[in-house]
Amino acid sequence: MRTWWGIRRLYEMRFQERLLLLLLLVAAAYYVVFAIAQWTTLTPASLRFDFANYFGGAQAAAHGTDVYADFKRSWGTEAWVVAYIYPPFFAELLAPLTPLGLVGAARVWLLAVHAAFFGSLALLLHIHPELSRAGRRLLLAAAFGFMPVYLNLKFQQVATVWLLLVTAALWAALRRRDGLSGGFIALAASLKVTPIVLIPLFARLGRLRVAMLGSGMLLIVTMVTLLASPGSWQFFTVVLPRIGLGTANWDNGSIDGLVSRIVVLAPNLLGGATQTAAKIVIALAAVTVVSVTIWLAGGRGVAPREPRSGRRPTRVARDVPNERLRRSHAMRAFETSDQGWTLRLGVAALITSLLIVSSVTWQHHLVTLLLPMATALAWIVQRRPGARYGWALAAAYAACWIDRRAFPLPADLQVHSASQGALVLAGTSVKLIGLLLLWTLLLQMLRHERRRLAEVRRPQPPASGAAALPAA
């Protein structure tokens, strides 16, 4: 089939680039049309979801009242999902927009969301120079065609801003600008708590200055916010413990969501210990996935030791120290260049792991996967490990793109039989399968990098021109 004219063209580089360019133009045009349509049709009714919550918290912050009053009043009912549940820093950040009214503030925030998305794409291309022209076009087309991007725009979520800050932190760390990197981590963790896990990751990677600066700046931002917003300390004592319980909602794509749905479908699975066992499983899964990711991200290859012999080492010629110095410089250059891969893959794997174990992972949160997918694509282009890596990445992308509504699940969101229960568990876990596939793929890439580092550290035989001297 590869000899057929239509199929043969697919293997031509120029044809591939033109095809990807066409795909990119179509996806970008759809993005522009979607953005214009959303901008012109913004109404209070279309903003009744997430941005209405943001605006309510911003109003409370602007007037110096409790930003979590609605949450505390409605907790225990379904109404709590329309209350402000984010860190107080976000409410303070939006407070200057409150004089514009709900729709006016939403328009300004929507511009910020678009700017964060395009800024993230620019940084992703900058920190992955290994991408060829076809690779850059493929990444951009995949980004403009990614369903979570449009859901993020629809709900005007904060995920693109989080993606921009995490990507900027990675960019600054790669350029050895530790202060900037720590500052971006502090801002990201102030908007959404989970980026705080980047601090132990950088510490594990030996970037202690980034970890320390990030911790210090986060502490400063938190203290200033608490002083500026009375009662905002309740985010840590009231809001976090409650929203950390997760939800069995069919759109929750994390392990928490899957376990919660199993408990709802089989409340007596383990008798009276079902609820307790579910909480233990969720907690263990979160600790295990994040800990394994951080540990493997900082792992280093170890060269095998040379076997000992009874003979004394042979003296070599005077140029051997130069050879050792050359190997030392080569290894240092390798570690410097490949530190970028270790850092990039580690951050990518950690972001994916956080989505896997988060208490709530809606599909619009998956927009942050653009960073892990860009890193995986660049690594595949650079290392060329085999076709199975590319197919695995494509499968993970497709699984995270698909929504549960693509499956014939009960329209009334009620399970009426065991077969329906199995279908619900399968159809609502597709995003989780994609996340797990991407996570394991990134860990496998980290394993390859450790193996390469071990090969460089392995002692090499002396140069062929070195003359051996007799032992003393």
- Domain of 409? 246-303+322-460
Is position 328 within any domain?
yes
Is position 13 within any domain?
no
Q: Hey, how many other C-beta atoms are within 10 angstroms of the C-beta on 100?
A: 14
With tokens 């503030």, the residue in question is 105
Is position 376 within any domain?
yes
Is position 280 within any domain?
yes
Is position 98 within any domain?
no
Question: How far apart (Å, rounded) are the C-alpha atoms in residues 186 and 208?
Answer: 15
CA distances from 294 to 29, 186, 201, 202, 454 (A): 39, 19, 5, 9, 19
Question: How far apart (Å, rounded) are the C-alpha atoms in residues 302 and 79?
Answer: 55
With tokens 């329906």, the residue in question is 420
Question: How far apart (Å, rounded) are the C-alpha atoms in residues 429 and 415?
Answer: 16
In a 3-state reduction of DSSP, which class is residue 283? helix
Indicate whether this model's pTM tops 0.75: yes
Q: What is the pLDDT of residue 110?
A: 95
- Reference 141, options 30, 29, 23; nearest CA is 23
Question: How far apart (Å, rounded) are the C-alpha atoms in residues 376 and 4?
Answer: 32
Question: How far apart (Å, rounded) are the C-alpha atoms in residues 29 and 233?
Answer: 44
Is position 212 within any domain?
no
Picking from 17-21, 70-74, 274-278, 330-334, which range would have the lowest pLDDT averaged per residue?
Answer: 330-334
Question: How far apart (Å, rounded) are the C-alpha atoms in residues 209 and 343?
Answer: 15
Average pLDDT estimate for 74-101: 82
pLDDT at 173 over 70: yes
In a 3-state reduction of DSSP, which class is residue 79? helix
Is position 239 within any domain?
no
Tens digit of pLDDT for each residue in 332-372? 444 444 558 999 999 999 999 999 999 889 999 999 999 99
CA gyration radius, the chain: 26
Is position 348 within any domain?
yes
Q: How many domains does the chain have?
A: 1
Q: What is the pLDDT of residue 324?
A: 52
Average pLDDT estimate for 279-308: 76
Q: What is the pLDDT of residue 319?
A: 45
